[in-house]
A = this chain, B = another copy of it.
Amino acid sequence: MIRHKRLADVARLAGVHASTASRALNPETRSMIRPGVVETVLAAAAKLGYRPHALAASLRTRRSSTVGVLIPDLTNPLFAAIVRGIEDALGAAGYTAILGNSDNEPARARTMLQRMRERRVDGMILATAQREDALIAECRADDVPLVLVNRTVDDHTVSAVVVDDAVGIALAVEHLVGLGHRAIAHLAGPQDLSTGRLRQRSFARAMAAAGLAVDPKLVLVCRAMTEEEGRRQFGALLERGRSATAVLAGNDLIAMGCYDALGARGLSCPAAMSIVGYNDIRFVDRLSPPLTTVRIPQYDMGAEAARLLLARMRDAAAPVQTITLRPELVVRGSTARPGRPKPPARPRKIPARDP
């Protein structure tokens, strides 16, 4: 059992009334008390190891100074970097984050949000948004200040910090076209996510802008933004003998799956296939070959989301806004000129099952 020193103990030692001690200890009311008394009270508090009770203070002010942060999975470096940005910006304002991992499971997300509400978070930042998201609709009905990060909702009814995926994808396509690629595949992310959907649409537009037709058979939709899905879908594409010379992956993890699918078939990147990722998560510069990818400002996205939320918590009437951050292309070793002008696409015969 923890025994905390109480305000009354401090007041007794300082020889003042409890209300005087309280005012002297609170930076916001300290000026009401004579400096000499303030010093006496602070000395007494220090001697007793007294600390203001943040919980009690939060009940008085109806604020908990905590913010719920829901992400898919902390072990995905993208979200670890976003969360660091969130926590640093919240911390600077005296707020603390309560973190929840949804694992992209709605039931788990619901449990986490429920727990955050029970703890009376002052606001929430969600990195888990689906384009149509019943949980977010519930949060809005609750009137809890809310900000989305990385992914957003279709109706744009909630403030969000996102990346300009149209620019990011255009940079990637222009890079590949500039190298001489014409048959470019896209391994899209799930279409119920704004990122998956917008990147796919941006891919079609960027190809059109380059005067190239999108071969529908070269566009595959992954069920999740994972290495496994990239491996599975790109493996299927290679099996069918499609004639792509480059692939633009929906994110870096899908791109890693493409590396695996190529490697399992004895094909090399970028000689047999150029690969572009998205996000520039930690360590993709150390892949073999280092991954050409679209860098998004992960830490800054988190920090901006926190600042946007802090502003909304101060002023609930603040208009809904979307902050769009600009990505950049980072060219590394996974992209090169196509090996042959029109590769005849004859993947080696391989056994039905990979080893």
Contact = CB atoms under 8 A, between A and B. Distances in A.
Given A87-B101, A98-B97, A288-B288, A119 B55 contact: yes
A34 interface: no
A7 interface: no
A3 interface: yes
Contacts of A98: 66, 96-98
A144 B4 CA distance: 10
A20 to B, nearest CB: 21
A28 B254 CA distance: 47
Contacts of A287: 283, 286-288
A3 B143 contact: yes
Contact of A74 (B49, B59, B80, B112): B80
A295 interface: no
A102 B56 CA distance: 27
A352 interface: no
A99 interface: yes
A117 B53 CA distance: 9
A101 B84 contact: yes
Contact count band on A: 35 or more
Nearest to A49: B142
A316 B1 CA distance: 7
Given A74-B84, A282-B283, 9 more contacts: A2-B142, A51-B117, A54-B119, A66-B98, A74-B74, A75-B77, A75-B81, A77-B77, A88-B101
Contact of A96 (B2, B81, B115, B142): B115
A58 interface: yes
Given A59-B59, A73-B84, A283-B283, A52 B97 contact: no
Given A96-B98, A98-B98, A316-B1, A83 B77 contact: no
A110 interface: no
Identify which of A2, A99, A316 gathers the most chain B CB atoms within 10 Å of its CB. A2
A118 interface: yes
A256 interface: yes
Contacts of A97: 98-99
A54 B118 contact: yes
Given A74-B84, A81-B75, A96-B115, A53 B2 contact: no
Given A99-B99, A288-B286, A84 B77 contact: no
B282 A120 contact: no
Interface string A271-303: 000000000001100111100000000000000
A64 interface: yes
A59 to B, nearest CB: 6
Contact of A120 (B54, B66, B100): B54
A59 B55 contact: yes
Contacts of A52: 118
20 contacts: A1-B62, A1-B316, A51-B118, A54-B118, A55-B59, A56-B59, A74-B83, A74-B84, A75-B77, A75-B80, A77-B282, A87-B101, A91-B100, A96-B98, A96-B115, A96-B119, A97-B99, A282-B283, A283-B283, A288-B288
